[in-house]
């Protein structure tokens, strides 16, 4: 069921500083910033040969990462996203096991335009896990 690691998301308080650090100090290739007001984040992708890292900065007062940054002002590891080919089946299996799906429990359209769910971190050993549906 579990497919590729789609991305790891790191929340940062200052995206410009994080971009500089990833580009100049770590020598990584970083995309141009993308403002996603409907998701409450500005995001860049650190392109790696086998996956990508998303650096997230809060955008707007209702940003889903504002509370995270209030608790961890320096930033930190926010979530990890795995790909699945059948999100309804994966969701049903999770619910059956007792895991809680965030929101109303149904898939939403994520930042990449594909259906996603988030699993409650309390039911996944403290890690916020996103599942994104991809074509088989």
Residues that bind its own copies (CB under 8 A): 1-5, 8, 10-14, 17-18, 21-22, 24-28, 46, 48-51, 53, 55, 72, 74-77, 80, 82, 90, 93-94, 97, 99, 121-122, 124-127
Q: How far apart are CA 106 and CA 15, in angstroms?
A: 31
Q: How far is the CB of 2 from its own copies (least distance, A)?
A: 4
Confirm if 4 and 51 have CB atoms less than 8 A apart. Answer: yes
Q: How far apart are CA 95 and CA 105, in angstroms?
A: 9
Q: How far apart are CA 84 and CA 106, in angstroms?
A: 15
Pairing label, strands 5-11, 52-58: parallel
Q: How far is the CB of 6 from its own copies (least distance, A)?
A: 9
If the CB atoms of residues 10 and 114 are measured against its own copies, the closer one turns out to be 10
Q: How far is the CB of 104 from its own copies (least distance, A)?
A: 20
Residues designated catalytic: 130
């Amino acid at each position: 069921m579990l497919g590729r690691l789609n991305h790891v998301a790191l929340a940062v308080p200052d995206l410009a500083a994080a971009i500089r650090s990833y580009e100049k100090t770590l020598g990584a290739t970083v995309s141009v910033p993308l403002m996603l007001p409907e998701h409450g984040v500005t995001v860049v992708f650190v392109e790696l040969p086998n996956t990508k890292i998303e650096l997230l900065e809060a955008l707007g007062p209702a940003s889903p990462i504002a509370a995270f940054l209030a608790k961890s002002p320096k930033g930190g590891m926010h979530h990890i996203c795995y790909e699945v080919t059948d999100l309804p089946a994966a969701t049903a299996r999770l619910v059956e096991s007792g895991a809680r799906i965030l929101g109303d429990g149904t898939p939403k359209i994520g930042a990449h335009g594909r259906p996603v769910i988030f699993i409650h971190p309390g039911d996944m050993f403290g890690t916020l896990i996103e599942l994104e549906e991809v074509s088989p």
